[in-house]
Structure 1
Amino acid sequence: MTLAFEYERPWLADYQREALFGTERYGVVEGSTKCGKTAPCLIWLAEQTMFGGEGQNHWWVAPVYPQAEIAYKRMKRGLPHDIIKTHDTDKWIELPGGRRMWFKSAEKPNNLYGEDVYSAVVDEASRCREESWHAVRSTLTATRGPIRIIGNVKGRKNWAFALARKAEAGAPGMAYKRITAFDAIQAGILSQAEIDQARSDLPEAVFRELYLAEPSDDGGNPFGLKAIADCIGSLSDGKPIAWGWDLAKSVDWTVGIALDAEGRICRFERFQKPWDATMDRIAEATGSVPALVDSTGVGDPILEMLQKRPGSRFEGFKFTSESKQRIMEGLAVAIQKMEIAIPEGPIRSELENFEYEYTRTGVRYTAPDGFHDDCVCALALAVSHKAHARQPLTIDPELRRLAKMPRRGGFTFNLGT
């Protein structure tokens, strides 16, 4: 059954359209409070329902029942009453052809299993239980339905933050958008005066989470999220003076990062290739610039083969719990002193996601389960090597000539040819 009415999408700010109306199956949005996430998601879900097939179910899932009810009432008010049926107890709205939107709570995950769902919105995702996310995801398996996951940032220890980092890193089929209060101010949705008042009323960490969509450190990031943000800059076009290479292990990435004389990242390589092609790529990118290479495990024979290449200047670094702690602490100092400049993208994402914890044997530095730390390790190697690598000595020809001349007492010092 084809719906027999004309539809015109309500006005949306550019950032709202970009965040939610793309073609990717997953749309993940971390946003400021009151920046306008709910309204465009209601519009998105209504469009999925209107233009979907007959008899299909579409879901809106919120952390608790009262929040689901708010979305239900807003959707009910926004649609033409003469074409919809509603059920205030079960919280569903039906369009012609049995196309139905359900508004559900995530409080009881077991109540979310079993249905085939053709599109879904998870509202305030960082406050929903992870088990509820698993249940919602299962309902989209057979239909391959799209989903929009929206919410404020609430620390780093939750499934929504982890999923956002995957989307931000460019995982296939996923789109990511961070919306801040300043985006909403520019679009005329929020006022600058209100944001200024909120900043003065709230603790800094709370304000940054609610209005700038920046997670608090939760005591787990060794670099400091603000310190990382302070180091963000564009990729330098300067000349590399030191490389760090972290080699792929299984499903990981081989990552190479080079720094220029001012500590700015000037080259960035990230790829997955067979070992022969990996060695060729590393040698070609590095040239004769000093490089520190992860020689842990399978990296040891790779390093040996790289060192045999003419003109190469590769040195090895074996990661142990002690050596990793040392090199990561060096990287933390460099970041906190703003001695390096880091471009946006996977490097920043991995740095922000990186964790440390105290164990019985010392401090453990690593990425959370399911995430990578290849960029972090490569950057730590580059920072360490920049501090210690010896650059080729360039001698002015006239100085070389004078240095070879006999001095008083017949002594000659020779710098070589």
Structure 2
Amino acid sequence: MKEYTYQRPKLYAKQSQAFFNDSRYSWIEGSTKSGKTVSCMAWLFEQSLIKGKHGREFWWVAPATGTAKIAYGRIKRGAPAGLLRSNDTDSTLTNTLNGAVMRFKTGEKPDLLYGEDVWAAVLDEASRVRQEAFYALRSTLTATQGPIRLIGNVKGRGNWFYKGSRKAEAGEPGHSYHKITALDAVAAGVFPQAELDDARRTLPENVFRELYLCEPSDDGGNPFGIRHIGNQVAPLSTMPPVAYGVDLAKSVDWTVITGLDAAGRTCLHERFQKPWRDTIRHVRLICGNVPTLIDSTGVGDPIVEELQADTGRAEFSNFQGYKFSSASKQMLMEGLAVAIQQSEIYYPAGVIVSELECFEYEYTRTGVRYSAPEGMHDDCVMSLALANRARTTRGPEPQVIVLE
């Protein structure tokens, strides 16, 4: 049998970390010319070498046939002569050593992706692919439990790829998040600074920032203002807290405790999932005697009552409940928006910023509706808003009566 020596293309550190990791799902927001395509080509090729057997499928799915054929042609030209048997009609490359098949397909018609068992997959230009194509591709990985790499440019904030990247960034189990920009490529010496400068001068600012810096444009519908959100990012304060906000959850969502100091700077941020009994003990331990406003909607009501029980009378407790209704939530969110836009509150980078940026509002017949996009979390936003309310108000929270 003929032997071949494979040498992985030279990748800079961020490329290797984004693609060659143990996560089943790796979400990569990559700018143009950052080297994301060559990284994915190397990853899929290596998957076919390591896991390949006769007839096993390894897929590259792109928004259009022409885009898929770019990767197909580059791998075909780059492989040693005789290692891959190509079929230009089907856009397949079959490994002559182990019989593995790399197949390059389009996601234009998601229904045509169902049915096969796939051992590893790349979803290219994911921000431009329909979400149904991801669902279909994910189904092909079920029997094999195969990994997937989702790569794409940033294209606004409303698409499923952006929202999925935010969930991965927030620590979704089995998922990892990575960002590679043209600045990283310049620093690694694989992209010329002069070309980046020319693009900055030539393109509209929002287009340049999306294509080269992975900074999404503001799609509207955000109550806080994307620019204002970024302006208020600051490291955790070392000063003592004067108020806490607690958003409660047990399993699907997260319990979040946020503490603010006298200057409105976040000095504590905890995000966890525990049984209710452990949650009560932890909240009591962290918050002590500091004024604390807690989501008392639904299951939160008895928890607030138990936290208040130590004082004997609820009105004397530092733990106060806040029941969410459409009116009270609007009041809470507008208070947080004002605090952010008037630079009265600060928070660290990370999941808080991601949730703030994804948060949406819309006008309805009964008022303004505030919420996270479907499938996304808003626990950190709620906790921050409650802490802000506790810091800027005194005494028990007045009841909001809503007449239906």
Same fold (TM over 0.5): yes
Residues 387-408 of structure 1 show CA distances to partners (whole Å, capped at 9, x for unaligned) of 1248xxxxxxxxxxxxxxxxxx
Q: Distance in 2 between matches of 1:312 and 1:213?
A: 47
**What is the CA deviation profile of residues 128-156 of structure 1, one whole-angstrom value per residue up to 9, with x for unaligned ones?**
11111111111101001111000001112
Shift of 1:301: 2.4
Instruction: Report what 2:381 is aligned to.
Output: 376
SS of 1:288's equivalent? coil
Q: For 1:357, give the aligned amino acid.
A: E
Secondary structure of 2:42's match? helix
- Asked if structure 1 preserves the Cα contact closer than 8 Å seen for 2:15 and 2:35, the reply is yes
* Bigger radius of gyration: 1
3-state SS of 1:155 partner: coil
Partners of 2:64 and 2:298 in 1: CA distance:
49
| 2:75 equivalent to 1:71 | no
Unpaired stretches in structure 2, ≥5 consecutive residues: 396-404
For 1:333 and 1:9, locate their aligned partners in 2 and report how far apart those are by CA, in whole Å: 52
CA distance in 2, matches of 1:230, 1:353: 16
User: Structure 1 residue 14 and structure 2 residue 13: aligned?
Assistant: yes
User: Which whole-Å CA distance do the structure 2 matches of 1:356 and 1:263 have between them?
Assistant: 24
1:158-214 Cα shifts (integer Å, max 9, x gaps): 221121112111111111001122111111122333223322322322222112212
Instruction: Report the equivalent of 1:271.
Output: 272
SS at match of 2:310: coil
Shift of 1:3: 7.9
Paired with 1:109 and 1:3, the residues of 2 have a C-alpha distance of: 39
1:346 matched residue in structure 2: 351
Q: Call closer, same or farther: CA 1:196–1:309 in 2, change over 3 Å.
A: farther
Tell me the number of residue pairs that the alignment of Structure 1 and Structure 2 aligns. Answer: 389
Q: How does 1:18-417 map to 2 (within 5 A)?
A: 18-55=17-54, 56-96=56-96, 97-248=98-249, 251-310=252-311, 312-389=317-394
Deviation sequence 1:310-339 (CA, Å, 0-9, x none) = 495122212111111121111112222332
**Contact 2:63–2:107 (CA under 8 A) maintained in structure 1:** yes
CA contact (8 A) 1:3 1:50 kept: no
C-alpha separation in 2, matches of 1:83 and 1:296:
63
Amino acid at match of 2:225: G
Q: Is the 8 A contact 2:248 2:254 kept in 1?
A: yes
Q: What CA deviation, in whole Å up to 9, does each residue of 1:333-381 have, x standing for no partner?
A: 2222332222122212211221111111111000111121111001001
For 1:194 and 1:261, locate their aligned partners in 2 and report how far apart those are by CA, in whole Å.
47
Aligned to 1:412: none
Verify the 8 A CA contact 1:289 1:312 in the aligned structure 2: no
Instruction: State the distance in 1 between where 2:199 and 2:330 align.
Output: 39
Please state whether the residue corresponding to 2:51 is helix, strand or coil.
coil
255-264 vs 334-343, which moves further: 334-343
Residue number in structure 2 paired with 1:4: 3
State the Cα deviation string for residues 241-266 of structure 1 (Å, max 9, x = none). Answer: 11011122662222110011221111
The amino acid of 2:86's aligned partner reads T
Equivalent position amino acid for 1:71 in 2: A
Structure 2: distance between partners of 1:168 and 1:261: 30
CA distance in 1, matches of 2:180, 2:317: 46
171-180 or 309-318, which moves further after superposition? 309-318
CA drift at 1:300: 2.3
Q: Which residue identity is paired with 1:246?
A: D
Q: Is the CA contact (8 Å cut-off) linking 2:232 and 2:346 kept in structure 1?
A: yes
What are the Cα deviations for residues 253-307 of structure 1, in whole angstroms up to 9, with x where unaligned?
2211001122111111222222222211111100111111112222222222212
Query: Partners in 1 of 2:124 and 2:28 — Cα distance?
Result: 10
User: In the alignment, residue 350 of structure 2 is paired with which amino acid?
Assistant: G
Which has the larger displacement, 60-69 or 323-332?
323-332
**RMSD (Å) for aligned C-alpha atoms:** 1.7
Q: Which residue identity does 1:200 align to in structure 2? A: R
CA distance 1:140–1:3, shift in 2 (3 Å): farther
Q: Percent same amino acid among aligned pairs?
A: 57
The residue type paired with residue 297 of structure 1 is: G
Give structure 1 stretches of 5+ with no counterpart.
Answer: 391-417
Moved over 4 A (4+): none
Change (3 A) 1:149 1:359: same
- Give the structure-1-normalised TM-score: 0.89
Q: Which amino acid aligns with 2:238?
A: D
Change (3 A) 1:4 1:52: farther
SS of 2:118's equivalent in the other structure is coil
Q: Which residue identity does 1:316 align to in structure 2?
A: G
Task: Determine if contact 1:287/1:312 at 8 Å carries over to the other structure.
Answer: no
In the alignment, the residues of structure 1 paired with residue 331 and residue 205 of structure 2 have an alpha-carbon distance, to the nearest angstrom, of 31
